[in-house]
Amino acid sequence: METLTLMKLVFDTLLAGAILFIAYKTLTCKDLFQAIVFFIVFGLLISVAWGRLGAYDVAMAEVVIGAGLTGALLLSALVKLKKMHIY
Amino acid sequence: MNTLLLYPLTGIGLFCIGLYALILQPHLLRKLLAINIMGSGVFLLLVSLSLPGISVQQDPVPQAMVITGIVVAISATALALVFMIKIAAKTGKAELSNLEKE
């Protein structure tokens, strides 16, 4: 029982640190394509956090809409910007 | 200390990082990512404060509100991306800070 509580604490701490680090990298890295890929990874990590919080329906909606659909929209907009030679 | 208290703190941190980048980064796509991250921070705060370990019993209303909020956030993101492409086609730049000088 004691080890289970400790493992939960370690998992929560690692997950929270990873979410904050990926969010920081999303907003500060130089390349825009890299930023979008970091944003998709951020959506997946936050859906793991929602599974940990017990909100499974929110996790499903986030992983489909927040990570998948938003990532596709952002990538298509970036491709349109690059076709206009604006960067 | 309850370990689930980590998640509200993470939500507050996400909101602060997003606000910082929204003010400082000039590129419009980066500002849009910052708004999305701020929204995720607010959702995380809203869901994690309604847990049975922290409040008295689990409340299903914040989860329903967060699902609605995710859908609204993606529609607002799509509208903002269209606006960004229109601005880039009209001015030749996708940055906000250089628009004021011209």
Could you state, in order of their start, the residue ranges of all structural domains in chain A? Answer: 1-85
Domain B3-91 listed as CATH 1.10.287.3510: yes
Task: Quote the minimal CA–CA distance from A17 to chain B in Å.
Answer: 8
Domain residue ranges in chain B: 3-91
B3 or B87, higher pLDDT? B87
Task: Quote the minimal CA–CA distance from B60 to chain A in Å.
Answer: 9
Average of pLDDT values for B86-97? 83
Contacts of A12 in chain B (CB under 8 A): 3-4, 6-7
Q: Do A16 and B9 touch (CB under 8 A)?
A: yes
Please name the residue that has the structure tokens 């903002």: B80
In this complex, is the C-beta atom of A44 within 8 Å of any C-beta atom belonging to chain B?
A: no
* Confidence at residue A54, expressed as pLDDT on a 0 to 100 scale: 83
Residues 55-94 of chain B with CB under 8 A from chain A are 58, 63, 66-67, 70-71, 73-74, 77-78, 81, 84-85, 88-89, 92-94
pLDDT in tens, A1-60: 788 888 888 898 999 999 999 999 999 988 999 999 999 999 999 999 999 888 888 899
pLDDT in tens, B23-65: 988 889 999 999 999 999 999 999 888 877 666 677 788 889 9
DSSP of chain B: --GGGHHHHHHHHHHHHHHHHHHH--BHHHHHHHHHHHHHHHHHHHHHTTSTTTSSS--SHHHHHHHHHHHHHHHHHHHHHHHHHHHHHHHS--BSTTTTT-
Q: Do B17 and A24 touch (CB under 8 A)?
A: yes
**What ipTM is given for this predicted complex?**
0.89
Q: Do A70 and B77 touch (CB under 8 A)?
A: yes
In this complex, is the C-beta atom of A78 within 8 Å of any C-beta atom belonging to chain B?
A: yes
* Confidence at residue B3, expressed as pLDDT on a 0 to 100 scale: 60
Q: Do A58 and B63 touch (CB under 8 A)?
A: yes
